[in-house]
């Protein structure tokens, strides 16, 4: 069941630059998308979300873009900071209720 | 800031034993969830719970699993007879609302690491 895919297992970015994390999905019934950040031995922490009726949502350094026709979303972090180093999960929801997660992308922000 | 809490942080049990994982969701949330993450794999949905009953469950959530809200604050996951393959991180989550076309973000607890030997 690969309804949500994150094809890049890892990403390395220099401090101050932009981090772009990508996510693709196959289920056209998904209507809500979320990004979570996860540190080792901790639970996923909610970052930002977007409804399928929008194509962009911004919150501080984090912006999520949704391209429904391509079934693609991305998370932009700018400027990237060392504390952003973590695993980032894309998740999708259909009509509320359960989340379907991607496999995650390990982001490393280097000094 | 309110948060979801889970106990214990780590549980070691022998195969065939029963375990109960405990969660205290955020107090004004109405929907509760259990997810698990087997080492190296993605986070997987197990079950959702609303108004004192299961609203959705995955194929993983078989007869060995059960959930309960025994009082106004706790939400528990019971595994009746643990198997080796039940070893995983188990995450509890809660949200203000879920279905009826209204989406709200889910907030996760820190997880319980279950090790079945």
Instruction: Write the pLDDT tens digit of every residue in A69-110.
Output: 999 999 999 999 999 999 999 999 987 789 999 999 999 999
Give the nearest chain A residue to B32 (CA atoms). Answer: A97
pLDDT at A48: 96
**Chain A with chain B: Cβ pairs closer than 8 A:** 67
- What confidence score (pLDDT) does residue A1 get? 62
Q: Is A26 in contact with A10 (CB distance < 8 Å)?
A: no
Minimal C-alpha gap between B42 and chain A (Å): 5
Per-residue pLDDT at A40: 87
| Count of beta carbons in the 10 Å neighbourhood of residue B4 | 23
Which value, in Å, is the radius of gyration of the alpha carbons in chain A? Answer: 13
Chain B partners within 8 Å of A49 (Cβ): 103, 105
- CB-CB under 8 Å, B107 with A96: no
Query: Tens digit of pLDDT for each residue in A24-57?
Result: 999 999 999 999 999 988 899 999 999 999 999 9
Instruction: Tell me if B97 sits within 8 A of B114, measured CB to CB.
Output: no
Cβ contact, residue pair A36, B99, below 8 Å? no
Testing the interface with B: which of A2, A39, A93, A98 to mutate, by most B Cβ within 10 A? A98
The secondary structure of residue B86, as a DSSP letter, is G
Whether A98 sits inside 8 A of B56 (CB atoms) is yes
List, as one string, the DSSP characters of chain A: --SEE---SEEEEETTS-EEEEEEE--TT--EEEEEEE-TTS--EEEEEEETT-SEEEETTEEEEEETTTTEEEEEESS--GGG-EEEEEEEESSSS-EEE---EEEEEE-
Residue A38 distance to chain B (closest CA, Å)? 10
Q: How, if at all, do strands B53-57 and B43-50 pair?
A: antiparallel
Q: What is the mean pLDDT for each group of 10 consecutive residues in chain B (117 residues)?
A: 92 97 93 94 94 92 94 93 97 80 84 98
CB nearest to A97's CB, from B43, B48, B108: B48
Closest-CA distance, A99 to chain B, in angstroms, reads: 7
């Amino acid at each position: 069941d690969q309804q949500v895919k994150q094809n890049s297992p890892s990403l390395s970015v220099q401090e101050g630059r932009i981090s772009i994390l990508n996510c693709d999905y196959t289920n056209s019934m998904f209507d809500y998308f979320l990004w979570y950040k996860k540190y080792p031995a901790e639970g996923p922490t909610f970052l930002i979300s977007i409804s399928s009726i929008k194509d962009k949502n911004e919150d501080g350094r984090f912006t999520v873009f949704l391209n429904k026709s391509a079934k693609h979303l991305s998370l932009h972090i700018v400027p990237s900071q060392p504390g952003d180093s973590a695993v980032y999960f894309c998740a999708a929801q259909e009509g509320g209720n359960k989340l379907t997660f991607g496999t995650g992308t390990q982001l490393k922000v280097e000094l | 800031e309110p948060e979801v809490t889970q106990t214990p942080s780590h549980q070691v049990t022998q195969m065939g034993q029963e375990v109960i994982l405990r969660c205290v969701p955020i107090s004004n949330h109405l929907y509760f969830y259990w997810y698990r993450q087997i080492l190296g794999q993605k986070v997987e949905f197990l079950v959702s719970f609303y108004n004192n009953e299961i609203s959705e469950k995955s194929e993983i959530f078989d007869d060995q699993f059960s959930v309960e809200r025994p009082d106004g604050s706790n939400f528990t996951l019971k595994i009746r007879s643990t198997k080796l393959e039940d070893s995983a991180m188990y995450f509890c989550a809660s949200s203000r609302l879920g279905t009826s076309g209204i989406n709200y973000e889910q907030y996760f607890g820190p997880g319980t690491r279950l090790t079945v030997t």
